[in-house]
Homo-oligomer: A and B are copies of this chain.
Amino acid sequence: MIFLVKIMGVVGSPRKEGNTNYLVKEALKAASNLGVETELINLGDIEIEPCIACDICKSTGECAIFDDVPSLLGKLVDSQGVIMGSPVYFGNVTSQLKMLIDRSRPLRMDFKLKNKIGGAISVGGSRNGGQETTISSIHQFMLIHDMIIVGDGAPLAHYGGTGVGSTINSAAGDEVGLETSRNLGQNVAELALQISKK
């Protein structure tokens, strides 16, 4: 069986089994139900270093740091959609996700992520605990790569998947978090499928 469309899920939490992981997986399941291939990468599983602004990518198009990032970036390039999730750390993505974002700079040299479909998920420790500002940060990254942004769509229809979780297993019982994340996954997959059709 050949899948033509692939959606990557990226979990920006240092915790591999936390609420963000749970919600990004739910989003991927909803995408998968529409017939796309999915893959989940957990930043807690990989070695990742910060960009040091050496500017070598400006001449070579390649990052000079040898860790797990170039391989992950290759996966993003080979996908048609990306769902990025992060717990809220001070109203923003985690340092781990920010490292991946900064390290994606070589891909922007010739806009290798152009027209990939992007969606965002965030999980905060309190109800209005930075989920929206964290999603904005992910959207800004995506627009700067000339990606295409979708939100979670009907019925709640705001910026993306928004979870609340003060303990490690909160996400499983968080109806709003589950619904918005699944709807986001569906939205990303639908548009990726539509765009990929010849």
A residues with CB within 8 A of B = 13-15, 18, 50-53, 87, 89-96, 98-99, 101-102, 104-105, 108, 111, 114-115, 126-133, 136-137, 139-141, 143-146, 148-151, 153-154, 156-159, 162, 164, 176, 180, 187, 191, 194-195
Contacts and interface: CB of A to CB of B under 8 A. Distances in A.
A147 to B, nearest CB: 8
A148 B150 contact: yes
B136 A143 contact: no
Contact of A129 (B111, B149, B156, B164): B156
Given A128-B131, A151-B144, A99 B50 contact: yes
Contacts of A132: 128, 130-133
A132 to B, nearest CB: 4
A173 to B, nearest CB: 14
Contacts of A98: 89, 92-95, 98
30 contacts: A50-B94, A50-B96, A53-B87, A90-B101, A90-B140, A91-B137, A91-B144, A92-B92, A92-B137, A92-B140, A93-B98, A95-B99, A108-B157, A111-B153, A126-B158, A126-B176, A127-B127, A128-B132, A128-B158, A129-B158, A132-B132, A136-B136, A137-B137, A143-B149, A143-B150, A145-B157, A146-B150, A146-B187, A148-B150, A149-B150
